[in-house]
Structure 1
Amino acid sequence: MIKKRNRSVSEEVKSSTPQQHNPYGHPSVVQLHRSYQFGAGEIPVRSDEFAVTAIHFGSAQNDSGRMETVMSLGDQSTGYNYSRSQGGARGQSLLSQTWKSGLHHLPARSFVSSLTSAYSIIDRRRGDESSLTAEVEEEEGEQASRGSEGGDGDREVLPLVAESGEVRQWSVYDNACRTTSVWVSGWNVTNLVQGVGVLAVPYACFQAGWMCLPIVILIAAIACYTGHMVGECLYDNPRLMITGYRELHRTRVRSTMSCIAAHAIPRGGQHFTGALVLLDMFGAAILYLLLLGRSSAEIFEPLLHAEWPLSYWIVVGGCLQVPVVLCPGIHIIAWFSMIAMISLHSCILIGIIYCAQEVGQNSLQGMYLPPPNIENLPVAISIIVFSYAAHAALPGIEGSMKQPDYFPKMLNVAFSLASALKLTFGLLCAIVIGSRIKDSVAECMGNRPVLSFVMNSFVMISVFFSSPLFFHILGEQVDSAVAPYVRRGFLSNRTFLSIYTCWFMSTRCAILALALLIAVLVPFFATIIGFLGAISGCLLLFILPCSFHLILFWYSLCCSAKICRFCIIIFGIAFGILGLIASSYQVSKP
């Protein structure tokens, strides 16, 4: 047995066993394409058909920053699954061990690791076949050095390739490194749900009126339900349809939304879902630039006594983001994300403090929740949908959990807390601010200059340090798209004075310039969120999870479950079309 570094190239697996002797009907020559463009799909495998396999994505806890691929021959009679065992019994860990693990693996690093795993971002390593022996020796030396330093020495690493005679098999499904505790995973999901879209929730609640209460609760319940479907689609069998021995030996055969789409819709599903996820990421980057420009105007216009147009401030904010966007280190971006998370939660706290001071001064006089505005109701629903759209990263978070059995319960708690916070923050701001409400709640505190300054400062900090992660993922996807067309070693040459440095800077700046152009041309925060919620939000939240679950597990679902999924699909299509029409109408209004 040998082990070698994973390559993003096509590899053929040849078996000398004749096809007629294969009891499972698989051909003797299997082509495995490992390109990972938009999340390459894997071949579905059952644990009793192939050897035990598992791919460990290069997570934030792995200091080497690359993906380790492991494989060993398994007992076909028992169907032992390495992705469900991970080094021994899977019992509930002690509280002290949970806290120790949480302190060792920072939530921000786990959050970035989950996102990069969800969007199929890997460290591309290329080389010639003639250098395989040198790479094996180098890898073994690095493993030994890391083991002596106490980094990954206690983690069981199985060899990649198992050879027996002329039979050789490779890993056929992806699996992230399971090192994250349940509470850290819940924190990551909560932060994904409480994204920058939460600043527009008060505006959506004001436009929806009293209907915002059932709408927020209903969308949260459906989002949690479809999140369970995404988790089930990662495995070969649905969780709720099997019990006992089979439940303990389910095999994780998919790793991303694009992988699920590749299995459910072989023709075009993978590329469509990957493009949709990237559209959602790019839209979030535009929102960050727009918020950065608005917050800069709110802070610096009174100080500089300059009344510049909003487009000027957006351009200035975009230029200031160039240094952090060009940051190549994922560990530095992890700390940026931690700062952004703290700043965003500080914004929510300041908004609640502002409302409490207003209530204490005015005693709720003249404060009320207006009736629903039918004209803007579809946009309000799209904003709420966008604020819950975190399903693209759920496969990566599930793959990083030490105890994936707790994934459904973790989703229930995370979405319940998120919906409670959205209702508290949205309803309180909508009632207190009233007709003065704007699409971003940070611009509604002009009567209290100190709180307004602090609020916009935290918004600037949150936006400024959140953008590098999104531009990093977008840039890595561009690199993955051009990887098959460039020479080997081009994307792995990370020296400062190299052609790759020029490529890295030009592509990241081009993505930033494109996002900046759209933010200047369409400087409407709520309208952009409405577009994203109507297109990517409804698809990723309602339509795609239910469609994939129906296609993959059609014969395992009862009639009522199928009807429920069809109803969710119809609900998503209807509100997606209405939200798209309403958002387009708002843009066209003078």
Structure 2
Amino acid sequence: MASPADEENGLSSSMRAPLLQTHGRLPGHEGEATFARTCFNVTNALSGIGVLSVPYALSEGGWISLALFFLVALVCFYTGLLLQRCMDADPHIRSYLDVGEFAFGYNGRIIVAIFMYIELYLVAVSFLILEGDNLDNLFPNLEFQLLSLTIKQKQFFLLVSALIILPTTWLRNLGGLAYISAGGVVASVILMCSLLWIGVTETGFQMKGRVLNLGGLPTALGLFFVCFTSHAMFPTIQASMREKTRFSKVLVISFALCIFNYGAMAVLGYLMYGENLKSQVTLNLPPGKISSKIAIYTTLINPLAKYALTITPISFSVEEWLAFHLKRSHGTLVRTLLLLSTVLVASSIPFFGYLMAFIGSFLSIMVSVLFPCVFYMKIYRVSFQRNGFEMVVIVGVMVTGVLISVVGTYSSIAQIISSL
């Protein structure tokens, strides 16, 4: 029977029925991560490769698009809070898939799984592309001969990156991953400081660039959404937290840190290189300089720190589906095969910027903006009659998200096709 508090919030007794215990459970180590470790995990989840593409996004949209950057951050923070409330609706919810099932039954779980896993998988692929591009920039013109096969430098660097990342994917405790996440957060700060140093000592800063570029806004918005859309990992991270009621404070701290870091990177990069910015700002840095090498080396740390956290929800579900989650050796095999598959895909997709724009415009908006709004309205029975102002805000967020998704997805796909 529903409690009075639940009835007031719009939760029916049927909605409070416990979820199946076998769905979405983390394989051990639940509730072990401290508040600080959770902050590191969420900040690391948010402050990923978007930090490299956000200057390019600003160059695509122009200076006025910086206002859209802050609007995107606010929208994603709000939907993060909605997602947390959805998790708070039932103590058995342990994953993003559980939220979908709690709201819409098994069909909701399947739909969420399709979008969420494709998004996380492509983000993991983009990490490897980034590693290959930047190592290629550091060590150009390398080529290896293995028997009758010729291994090109970028393929070689993808393999090296995968071998380095592999041990981090075997960690099953998100509290332990927090130490790796801390390295990713520190790397983002070092990258921003390195870019500032290069601007002061090498390239200088010039007030150049377009005020507004309407044609580039779809790409810019898609890349902005990539910066703040890690919602698929939020439930998994919250489930690993000791004090789950403090997760909203974690979101405040993590979003504030990432807004400052992303915003500073965007402005610095655009002031330094203007319209000549490449899809990754590190590819613009002057070769051979110590400051450039520091920036690129720290850039390489971010995917190493973030890959395991990104792939964890996928591996948990695969292990669960295969009923291997009680056997560590089988879990290790699943994660190893997932990593190998992303290496193969990364070697065949060279369009980093366009891929990121597609992820942001289509998959990230669906998973991080539209789904949390729909789930929240369903679970808490939000309506114009009961919650007029809140309903207006949520509908406004959803309409804006749909418009941006349609335009941005079309633009990114068109750019990928034209580059083939």
Q: Which residue of 1 aligns with 2:232?
A: 392
Q: Which residue of 2 aligns with 1:292?
A: 131
1:588 counterpart letter in structure 2: I
* 2:48–2:302 CA contact under 8 A, matched in 1: no
1:381 and 1:267, CA in 2 relative to 1: closer, same or farther beyond 3 A? same
* Deviation of 1:333 (Å): 5.3
* 2:233–2:313 CA contact under 8 A, matched in 1: no
Q: Which residue of 2 aligns with 1:525?
A: 352
Q: Which residue of 1 aligns with 2:66?
A: 213
Query: Paired residue for 1:34, among 12, 17, 21?
Result: 21
Query: Paired residue for 2:381, among 535, 554, 570?
Result: 554
* 1:358–1:432 CA contact under 8 A, matched in 2: no
* Deviation of 1:323 (Å): 6.0
Q: Which residue of 1 aligns with 2:163?
A: 322
Query: Paired residue for 1:544, among 371, 374, 378?
Result: 371
Query: Paired residue for 2:396, among 542, 556, 567?
Result: 567
* 2:361–2:406 CA contact under 8 A, matched in 1: yes
Distance 1:347 1:417 in 2: 14
1:328 and 1:513, CA in 2 relative to 1: closer, same or farther beyond 3 A? closer
* 2:100–2:112 CA contact under 8 A, matched in 1: yes
1:589 aligns with 2:415: no
Distance 2:164 2:80 in 1: 36
Q: How does 1:41-440 map to 2 (within 5 A)?
A: 120-123=25-28, 176-177=30-31, 180-181=34-35, 183-236=36-89, 252=91, 254-301=93-140, 312-320=152-160, 321-322=162-163, 324-325=165-166, 328-330=170-172, 335-358=179-202, 362=204, 364-365=205-206, 367-401=207-241, 403-440=243-280
Distance 2:164 2:40 in 1: 28
* Deviation of 1:460 (Å): 2.3
Q: Which residue of 2 aligns with 1:111?
A: none
Instruction: Name the SS of the counterpart of 2:67 in structure 1.
Output: helix
Distance 1:401 1:586 in 2: 41
RMSD over aligned Cα atoms: 3.1
Distance 2:227 2:113 in 1: 20
Distance 2:376 2:19 in 1: 24
Distance 1:352 1:392 in 2: 32
Greater radius of gyration (CA): 1
Could you tell which deviates more after superposition, 511-520 or 450-459? 511-520
1:447 and 1:373, CA in 2 relative to 1: closer, same or farther beyond 3 A? farther
* Deviation of 1:228 (Å): 1.4
Q: Which residue of 2 aligns with 1:87?
A: none
Q: How does 1:12-27 map to 2 (within 5 A)?
A: none
Distance 1:475 1:445 in 2: 36
1:352 and 1:511, CA in 2 relative to 1: closer, same or farther beyond 3 A? same
**Identity fraction in percent:** 20
* 2:315–2:335 CA contact under 8 A, matched in 1: yes
* Deviation of 1:586 (Å): 0.7
* 2:41–2:182 CA contact under 8 A, matched in 1: no
Aligned residues: 394
* 1:176–1:396 CA contact under 8 A, matched in 2: no
1:575 and 1:465, CA in 2 relative to 1: closer, same or farther beyond 3 A? same
* Deviation of 1:253 (Å): 5.0
* 1:314–1:516 CA contact under 8 A, matched in 2: no
1:279 and 1:225, CA in 2 relative to 1: closer, same or farther beyond 3 A? same
Distance 1:570 1:398 in 2: 28
1:420 and 1:471, CA in 2 relative to 1: closer, same or farther beyond 3 A? closer
* 1:179–1:401 CA contact under 8 A, matched in 2: yes
2:414 counterpart letter in structure 1: Y
Could you tell which deviates more after superposition, 374-383 or 411-420? 411-420
1:325 counterpart letter in structure 2: L
* Deviation of 1:276 (Å): 2.1
* Deviation of 1:425 (Å): 1.4
Q: Which residue of 2 aligns with 1:535?
A: 362
* Deviation of 1:179 (Å): 5.3
* Deviation of 1:512 (Å): 3.1
Distance 1:335 1:345 in 2: 16
Could you list the runs of 5+ residues in structure 1 that have no partner in the other structure?
1-23, 40-119, 124-174, 237-250, 484-489
Structure with more relative contact order (C-alpha pairs < 8 Å, separation 6 or more): 2
Q: Which residue of 1 aligns with 2:8?
A: none
1:388 and 1:314, CA in 2 relative to 1: closer, same or farther beyond 3 A? same
Instruction: Name the SS of the counterpart of 1:356 in structure 2.
Output: helix
* Deviation of 1:187 (Å): 3.6
Distance 1:547 1:390 in 2: 17
Which aligned segments of 4 or more residues in structure 1 are displaced greater than 6 angstroms? none
1:34 counterpart letter in structure 2: Q
Distance 1:427 1:191 in 2: 21
1:467 counterpart letter in structure 2: Y
Distance 2:71 2:212 in 1: 17
Distance 2:189 2:124 in 1: 19
**TM-score normalized by structure 1?**
0.61
1:422 counterpart letter in structure 2: Y
Could you list the runs of 5+ residues in structure 2 that have no partner in the other structure?
1-11, 145-150
Q: Which residue of 2 aligns with 1:512?
A: 339
1:463 aligns with 2:317: no
1:372 and 1:519, CA in 2 relative to 1: closer, same or farther beyond 3 A? farther
1:417 and 1:398, CA in 2 relative to 1: closer, same or farther beyond 3 A? same
Distance 1:252 1:468 in 2: 26
Distance 1:465 1:397 in 2: 15
